[in-house]
Every structure is written in C-alpha cells, then in structure tokens.
Amino acid sequence: DIQMTQSPASLSASLGETVSIECLASEGISNDLAWYQQKSGKSPQLLIYAASRLQDGVPSRFSGSGSGTRYSLKISGMQPEDEADYFCQQSYKYPLTFGSGTKLEIK
Amino acid sequence: EIQLQESGPGLVKPSQSLSLTCSVTGYTITSGYDWSWIRKFPGNKMEWMGYISYSGSTNYNPSLKSRISITRDTSKNQFFLQLNSVTTEDTATYYCARTIPYYYVMDAWGQGASVTVSS
C-alpha cells in the first residue's frame, strides 16, 4: 500500500494568515492526490483533486500543488470557517490511502 | 442534490457481523460512479474499505478482503456494508461516499455512523 505522511499534525493560524499543509507519498503518485476538509461533527468535503483542481464551490483561497511524492495544500488568508481537520488521499493505486490529518485552529 | 445517509446498529458484539445501510437520494446508484465505504478510527486514521460500482462489481481493501462484503438493492437505491468477525479494533465511524471513477476521489459523503464493538 502507498503510505501518506502528512504534516504538521496540528497548527494554529491567525485570521488572514497563509497556511500550508504537506503530504509525502511513499512512492510517486503522478498528481493523483486529493485534499478534504472535515469540520467538527460534519462529514468530509472534497476540496481539491488531481493535486491542483478545485472542486466546484470551493473558495479560491484554497489551492493545491506538488508533483512526484510531495504535495501541499495552501490556504491563502485564513478565515474563521477554515478551522477544521484536513487530510490528503492518494488515488493513484488501490487501496486508496489517506494521510493522518492536520488539525487547523485559529490562533 | 445528492444525499447519502448511513444507518445501522451502533453497538456490535465481538465476533459478530457489522451491517450498515447507505441510503442514497438525489442520484440513482446504477447511473454511474462507484459507491464506497470508508471508516475513521478513534485517533483519526482513515481507511478506505471498498466500493461497489454502478454496474455491481466490487473492489475491496485487501486488508479486509476475507471479512467484507458490499452489496446493493437497486430498487431501494441503497448499498450495504457487511463486515464479519469484528473485534474492538473495528470500532470506528463508518461513512458511505460517492466515488468519482477515473479520479477515485469521494465527492459526496454521508454524515457517518458511529459503531462500537464491545461485549
């Protein structure tokens, strides 16, 4: 199975701050990488797929980048509603596997 | 708008079978997409368990292959998870989700069903 190492496990950011979260795959995954947001008590929501493609309805302050084994999610200008857990998922090979998650809080 | 809703027992005894239903509204499960089960353990680790496709074929996580079955009832627009011989390590929140073919990402999720395995 492809292992996804996500960092950091948690971080806090001030409103308006730019935040980055990273995922490292145990092998190359050819941009087959998605990011999800999960707010407390809610189900996960797809933010980005194919490493950089924004899901319909997701604010443009969210962006994804990367290649090979390293990928990142950037939030440009932290908003109160961005406080949530974020996790990555590789879709290059079955079984699909997930990162361990990042808890993002407002400072 | 598509909606998915999990239902089933919240408590299962060790060695028994866990059975959950995902009821889908707003989209017909035979029209397209794959239909997955994913679980989130205490401590936040997530595991993709398997899917049933719009045509009825299945694909399971090898880590579960001997214990898992995903089936469907197209007349009710539902799909099901059965996990046999459960242990306390199967305690988790179970989600059903629509999975986009080719991209293999989940674009719609149920709210989740918390299942505890305990005697």
Q: Find the closest chain B residue to A102 by CA distance.
A: B44
Question: What pLDDT score was predicted for residue B65?
Answer: 77
Contact A3, A26 (CB under 8 A): yes
Contact A58, A48 (CB under 8 A): yes
Contacts of A39 (CB under 8 A, 6+ apart): A45, A83, A84, A85
Token pair, residue A91, equals 């879709």
Region of B31 (left: φ > 0; alpha: ψ -120 to 50; beta: rest) is: alpha
Beta carbons of B104 and A32 less than 8 Å apart: yes
For testing contact with chain A, the best of B35, B41, B46 (most A CBs within 10 A): B46
Rounded Cα distance between B45 and A41, Å, is: 16
Kindly report the nearest CA distance between residue A35 and chain B, in angstroms: 9
Q: Is a pLDDT exceeding 80 seen at residue A98? A: yes
Beta bridge partners of A93: none
A94 DSSP assignment: S
Q: State the amino acid at position B116 in one-letter form.
A: T
Mean pLDDT of chain B: 97
Mean pLDDT of chain A: 97
Question: What pLDDT score was predicted for residue B43?
Answer: 87
CB contacts under 8 A, B 4-23 vs A, are none
Q: Within 10 Å of residue B45's Cβ, how many Cβ atoms?
A: 14
Beta carbons of A91 and B48 less than 8 Å apart: no
Share of residues in chain B with pLDDT > 90 (%): 94
- B41-84 pLDDT per residue, tens: 998 999 999 999 999 999 999 999 789 999 999 999 999 999 99
Question: Which of A80, A56, A62, A85 lies closest to B93 in space, CA to CA?
Answer: A85
